[in-house]
Chain A
């Protein structure tokens, strides 16, 4: 009676079994299958879903108007989350799990008066994380936000910006937006 190992079901002979060429072939092929499975797992571990998109000046934002930041440069994307030709203001989740998303915004406000600025991360239109400052005035400013999201396939993550003050519009001097998988669904 041939037996199998507990995890990868590698077949091996027991006492009394006849050992022939097929026995060795099965044994070798089962080990090969186990190695292939581990290689798949290794590839997945080294290529966790991860995307980063950036912007460097093409967008202007009016004061007191909550605005999705638009991006025109795909730095990297190994899971099809960014499709800037179709929707340039989002990352769309393709693999369910918990994601760490992060956005950075540096505005060009040298010709306007800024009394506050805020950057937020939204999931399907609902703001989950937000960072706001009111302590800068008429200065080129930068602001950063980071947080974790429990995402399903198709969920949309966006970076959202709002400033208050007068004049403008404020230019997007540089902006970065990224998301990466940190955990699989429970």
Chain B
């Protein structure tokens, strides 16, 4: 039996030209396997690993430099392994889009024209070369004297190298630091609830092909 160089499809040779049954078996199995891989690839395009975490309780006493920490899984799809209860970038090499939305409201009187800022930070996995969390996105605004709170939203894409090649952001946890110069601490609200999300866009070659 001979085989084509790229797809490994069989054809009969001088030594086995009468082995039709074997030929059809080899060809059928190879076609089956190749098409199954192609179909899985197509299915993965419209079924990206995705997870959304939210918070069902108000977080209070958020001083300058505090981290939002109370999150639970709201929903997910096709995540690699079990979805962590804390927001995390999945351990897949490639591009991810991540986002954070939170409503921050003063726990007391607003200090007029003070800033509010959120930093979306990805921490490195255990064993990574650097142990310093990496801030990937930031949003900031100013609270006037309306005392109605400010909704902040940070979103964007980041690249991770996955577990095969540890980097600062491979499969790292997502943290959200809050910075402000309000005189008193801030609270979150549940309308809408604080939300963090991560969805896999694809590996580098696919991104290049699409663009």
Q: Taking CB as reference atom, which chain A residue is nearest B150?
A: A132
- Contact status B153-A146, CB under 8 Å: yes
- Is chain B's interface secondary structure helix, strand, loop, or mixed overall? mixed
Q: Is A38 a contact of B38 with CB atoms below 8 Å?
A: yes
With an 8 A cutoff between CB atoms, is B45 at the interface? Answer: yes
Is B152 close to A, CB under 8 A? yes
The stretch from B59-67, B72-80, B125-133, B168-176 touching chain A is B72-80
The distance from the CB of B17 to the nearest CB of chain A, in whole angstroms, is 14
Mask of B42-56 contacts with A, CB within 8 angstroms, 1/0: 110111111010000
Whether B74 pairs with A147 at a CB distance below 8 angstroms is no
Q: Please, which residues of chain A bring their CB within 8 A of the CB of B135?
A: none
A93 to B21, CA, bound (A): 49
Give the size range of B's interface with the partner.
35 or more
B69 within 8 A of A: no
Q: Is the Cβ of B21 less than 8 Å from the Cβ of A41? A: no
Asked if residues A98 and B151 are in contact (CB atoms below 8 Å), the reply is no
From residue 21 to 35 of chain B, which have CB atoms closer than 8 A to chain A? 21, 24-25, 27-29, 31-33, 35
Q: Which residues of B contact A131 (CB under 8 A)?
A: 101, 151-153
CA distance A31 to B30 in the complex (A): 11
Whether A129 and B24, one on each chain, are in contact in the complex, defined by CB atoms closer than 8 angstroms, is no
A27 touching B28 by the CB < 8 A rule? yes
- B204 within 8 Å of A by Cβ? no
- Measured between C-beta atoms, what is the minimum distance from B112 to chain A in Å? 10
Q: A5-B28, A13-B21, A45-B45 are in contact. Are A98 and B75 (CB under 8 A)?
A: yes
Stretch among B85-93, B177-185, B189-197 lining the A interface? B189-197
In Å, the complex CA distance between A127 and B103 comes to 12
Q: How far is the CB of B98 from chain A (nearest CB, A)?
A: 10
Q: How far is the CB of A27 from chain B (nearest CB, A)?
A: 6
Task: Let me know if A134 and B144 touch, CB within 8 A.
Answer: yes
Contact between chains at A182 and B146 (CB < 8 Å): no
Selected from B45, B141, B191, B199, the residue in CB contact (under 8 A) with A148 is B199
Within 8 A of B (CB), among A113-168: 115-116, 118, 120, 127-135, 144-148, 150, 164
- Cβ of A27 and Cβ of B48 under 8 Å apart? no
Residue in chain A with minimal CB distance to B155: A146
Q: Say yes or no for B166: interface residue by CB 8 A criterion.
A: no
Q: Are B35 and A183 in contact (CB-based, < 8 A)? A: no
Q: Kindly list the 9 A-B residue pairs having the minimum CB-CB distance in the complex, ordered from nearest.
A: A5-B32, A183-B77, A135-B142, A132-B151, A45-B45, A45-B42, A41-B42, A7-B36, A12-B24
A residues with CB within 8 A of B: 3, 5-8, 10-15, 17, 19, 23, 27, 30-31, 34-35, 37-38, 41-42, 44-46, 48, 97-98, 100, 115-116, 118, 120, 127-135, 144-148, 150, 164, 181-186
**B binding-site residues for A, Cβ under 8 Å:** 20-21, 24-25, 27-29, 31-33, 35-36, 38-39, 42-43, 45-50, 52, 74-78, 97, 99, 101, 103, 141-144, 146, 148-153, 155, 191-192, 195, 197, 199
What are 27 pairs between A and B in contact, CB < 8 Å?
A7-B32, A7-B35, A8-B32, A12-B21, A12-B24, A13-B20, A13-B25, A19-B20, A23-B24, A31-B31, A34-B31, A38-B42, A41-B39, A44-B42, A45-B42, A46-B45, A48-B45, A48-B46, A118-B151, A127-B192, A129-B153, A132-B141, A134-B144, A164-B146, A182-B48, A183-B47, A184-B77
